Amino acid sequence: METRAWLYDGQTALPRTGVLIDEGDRFRLEDARGGAGPFAWADLLPPHADAGVASYGLRGVPGWRLGFPDPPPAAIAAKLPRGQTYGRWIDRFGLWPAALVLALVASAVVWGVLQTPALVARLVPASAERRLGELMVGDFGRNGCRRPEGQAALQALVRRVAPTERDLEVHVVAVPMVNAVTLPGGRIVIFSGLLKAAKSPDEVAGVLGHEIGHVRNRDVTEALVRQLGLSVLLGGLDGNVAGYTSALLSTAYSRSAETEADRYSQQLLRQAAVSPAATADFFRRLGGGAAKGRTERLLSYVASHPVSRDRAQAFDASATRGATHRPALDATQWQALRTICAGQSEKWDFRF
Amino acid sequence: MARGDAAERDSAFGFGGTWREYAPIAFTNLLLTIVTLGIYSFWARARTRRYLWSRTRFIDDRLEWTGTGLELFLGYLLAIVLFFVPLGIIQFVLQGVVLRGHPGAAILGAAILYIGLLYLVGVAIFRALRYRLSRTFWHGIRGGSDEQGFGYAGQYLWRTLVGTLALGLMIPWSMTTLWNRRWNAMSFGPLRFQAQADWRNVFGRFLLFYLWPIVLFIGLGAIGVMGLTAGGATPTGGGGVAIVLLGLLFVSIFYGLLGVIALAFYAAYFREGVGTLTLGGLQFGFTARTKDFILLFLGNVALVLVTLGIGYIFVPYRNWAFFIRHLEAYGEVVLEELTQSTTREPGQGEGLLDAFDVGAF
């Protein structure tokens, strides 16, 4: 059996045209330049379906190409390897079955990556989490505001809100932002701007309860694990797409963690007989007027925190009817807490 | 394609792909990329290139792309291990340093990190070009380079840094000399590429960047003076709105024209780069004018916008077709002398380049 064929030998750019002669397991090319081969049929590499004209490579010889000017006879065509389209695995199953199976696997993987951080975070021992915190943020917060009266008031507030909590570490730093953060390792840092913006110790108590909720729920570790998982999972996607997807997915989880922490705070306030109405007021003031509230609601799907008005309502609703409330701190303590940073400038010092 | 048939036949390069042929490839690539959470994108890119190369004719035969998705994937994994992991750890440490109250040390660390990154960008650009040439076959012969790209990266580092001195006036010099360095290290078969791009030929275009704000401010000043004399010197409520609108107009014109100037410079730079490139008895040329680049760019933007983003999958096709249709070669190729390249074949693809998201050419 023989047929017309062309060949590039991968050594020179000269094309060779001649007759391909089939010799069972092998074949050779006869041309004007003394022929080529024999080559084993089994060494032929499959052509690519997208390439238009089918041509075959030879295992181990880069640049070697064999092709046929006319469709080869059936006996020879049967010995040629089948063409590849999507890749070896997907070609074997067919595009649609492969896509379906892959889609199922992908959904399972995404679900797993989103769910496991909560489990993993709870498996991380508290001591390891604390060491990770030291590694990441050093002694941030510890060298914050230290006026003794203020510190005593802060301790009193912590004991009042969470009397059963043992190793809580709460600090105030002189940063003019209305915020409080929970760092890895369960360290809570309150910014002095928040103390300034708060109208009563009850408001600070609500925020503190919220941060204690984050510590209890291991939210920071969970977020770290989730971020790591998502960045590995989405690594193959285009940079921007991966970034947006990851941000969207993690903020969705962050919102539910915030709601959960709010609920924890409400529970602590109830047990401590501190009025949640003050915290509700605080969130309402943060949310601003109706117009700002609308914008906030529009953006709520991309925000890391729930809408302020919803949070305020939840705090209001958590109040037990007829319960008697006591202020979280007395007037002297509150004054001491508000001036815990007195004499400290609200700026970062710059040192090597 | 009917467009420019006569011109295409005379050109040494021709592109014979069609939208309809490419569409099934583009859409199945998109589908498989989504269901594999992006992993297939490497195989998708290999498939796209295989198609584009196979529809590209040089003189009497098609080009062939032999790179595989696996190579690109391995290159990417390697880039993650060698680059992303250390980078993540360094960022972690720097963050800790800042929070421990040593921002000065952190800034120093970040500066060293930036210089290291710039060096790696140089490595990435060189290696991507080398990889692409080594996987491009014509008549069974491929290209490549004997160099690894570390020397080039050193050149890239200092030339890029020096290029930004003197208010960026030396950028044309750094870009053209780096083009020459990069291409002079490349070969196809036994033949070396030779590039002799001269910065003086693109410097005029580059000066547009400096001229443009001056022209704009003089023009705007004139308009402002006319407005003041016409409307009298009494500012009214309507005047405030007009000033805001004028400001918006100013900003959009400023950046729009800055983009056009950037394209005008890039067109000149690319023509100079390709136009001074030779390979054995071949002299290359590139015919796209600034207008063609602008049309390509606007076409890509319109395509993506009109299709709500899906059209993005056709952008590589459009870019390649544009590149090949404007690419010319003169002179002759002696097939007997074109023997196989003896350069080492790189084992994996453009991982680092992917990591930095920069172009190879």
ipTM: 0.73
Phi, psi torsion values for B337, nearest 5 degrees: -90, -10
B40, B55, B339 member nearest A52 (Cβ): B55
CA distance B309 to B315: 11
Residue of A nearest to B29 (CA): A86
B152-182, pLDDT tens digit by residue?
999 999 999 988 887 788 889 999 999 999 9
pLDDT of residue A72: 84
Q: Note whether B155 contacts A: Cβ–Cβ < 8 A.
A: no
B28, B41, B189 member nearest A236 (Cβ): B41
pLDDT of residue B327: 92
For chains A and B, count residue pairs whose Cβ atoms are closer than 8 Å. 139
Output the DSSP codes for A196-210: HH-SSHHHHHHHHHH
Other CB atoms within 10 A of residue B204 CB: 11
Provide Rg for chain A, Cα atoms.
35
pLDDT of residue A83: 80
Torsion of CA A57, A59, A63, A68, to 10 degrees: -20
> Averaged over A34-40, what is the pLDDT?
83
State whether B339 and A103 contact (CB < 8 Å). no
pLDDT of residue B25: 92
Identify all chain A residues contacting B335, using CB atoms and an 8 Å cutoff: 12-15
Residue of B nearest to A100 (CA): B35
pLDDT above 60 for B4? no
State whether B140 and A52 contact (CB < 8 Å). no
Positive or negative, the CA dihedral B269, B274, B278, B282 is negative
Q: Note whether B127 contacts A: Cβ–Cβ < 8 A.
A: no
Identify all chain B residues contacting A50, using CB atoms and an 8 Å cutoff: 25, 47, 50-51, 54
* Residue among B70, B340, B352, B354 with most chain A CBs within 10 A, to mutate: B340
pLDDT above 80 for B312? yes
Identify all chain B residues contacting A102, using CB atoms and an 8 Å cutoff: 32, 35-36
Cis peptide before B24 (omega within 30 of 0): no
Q: Note whether B139 contacts A: Cβ–Cβ < 8 A.
A: yes
pLDDT above 80 for A143? no
A53-98, pLDDT tens digit by residue?
788 988 888 889 998 888 888 888 888 888 888 877 888 888 888 8
Residue A165's pLDDT band (cuts 50, 70, 90): confident
Identify all chain A residues contacting B340, using CB atoms and an 8 Å cutoff: 10-12, 62-63
- Whether the Cβ atoms of residue B53 and residue B63 lie closer than 8 Å to each other: yes
B104, B137, B339 member nearest A350 (Cβ): B104
> What letter would DSSP give residue A83?
P
Output the DSSP codes for B53-110: HHTEEETTEEEEE---HHHHHHHHHHHIIIIIHHHHHHHHHHHHHHHTT-HHHHHHHH
Paired strand residues for A12: B339
What's the pTM? 0.74
Residues in chain B: 361
Residue B354's pLDDT band (cuts 50, 70, 90): low
Give residues with Cβ within 8 angstroms of B49, minimum separation 6.
B65, B67
Identify all chain B residues contacting A86, using CB atoms and an 8 Å cutoff: 28, 32, 43, 47
pLDDT of residue B6: 41
- Whether the Cβ atoms of residue B283 and residue B329 lie closer than 8 Å to each other: yes
pLDDT of residue A270: 92
pLDDT of residue B357: 43
> Averaged over A7-24, what is the pLDDT?
87
* Residue among B20, B22, B36 with most chain A CBs within 10 A, to mutate: B36
Q: Note whether B345 contacts A: Cβ–Cβ < 8 A.
A: yes
List helix spans (H) across chain A: 74-77, 88-93, 95-123, 126-137, 148-161, 192-197, 201-216, 219-233, 239-272, 277-287, 290-298, 308-317, 331-338
pLDDT above 80 for B42? yes
Paired strand residues for B284: B329
Other CB atoms within 10 A of residue A332 CB: 10
> Averaged over B67-92, what is the pLDDT?
80
- Whether the Cβ atoms of residue B176 and residue B272 lie closer than 8 Å to each other: yes
pLDDT of residue B227: 65
Q: Note whether B253 contacts A: Cβ–Cβ < 8 A.
A: no
Average pLDDT, chain A: 82
How close A318 gets to chain B, by Cα (Å)?
A: 37
- Whether the Cβ atoms of residue A265 and residue A258 lie closer than 8 Å to each other: no
Identify all chain A residues contacting B64, using CB atoms and an 8 Å cutoff: 51, 55, 65
Buried b / exposed e across B73-112, counting CB within 10 Å, b at 16+?
A: bbbbebbbeebeeebeeeeeebebbbbbbbbeebeebbee
Which amino acid, one-letter code, is at B336?
A: E
- Residue whose entry in the numeric block shows the structure tokens 């991966």: A242
Burial of A118 (0-12, 13-18, 19+ CB in 10 A): middle
Average pLDDT, chain B: 82
CA distance B45 to B69: 7
* Residue among B29, B30, B34, B35 with most chain A CBs within 10 A, to mutate: B35
How close A8 gets to chain B, by Cα (Å)?
A: 6
Identify all chain B residues contacting A138, using CB atoms and an 8 Å cutoff: 96-97, 99-101
State whether B51 and A87 contact (CB < 8 Å). no
Torsion of CA B297, B302, B307, B309, to 10 degrees: 50
How close B238 gets to chain A, by Cα (Å)?
A: 26
Determine what percent of chain A is predicted with pLDDT higher than 70. Answer: 86
B176-214, pLDDT tens digit by residue?
999 999 999 999 988 999 999 999 998 888 888 777 777
- Whether the Cβ atoms of residue B14 and residue B53 lie closer than 8 Å to each other: no
A86, A140, A233 member nearest B37 (Cβ): A233
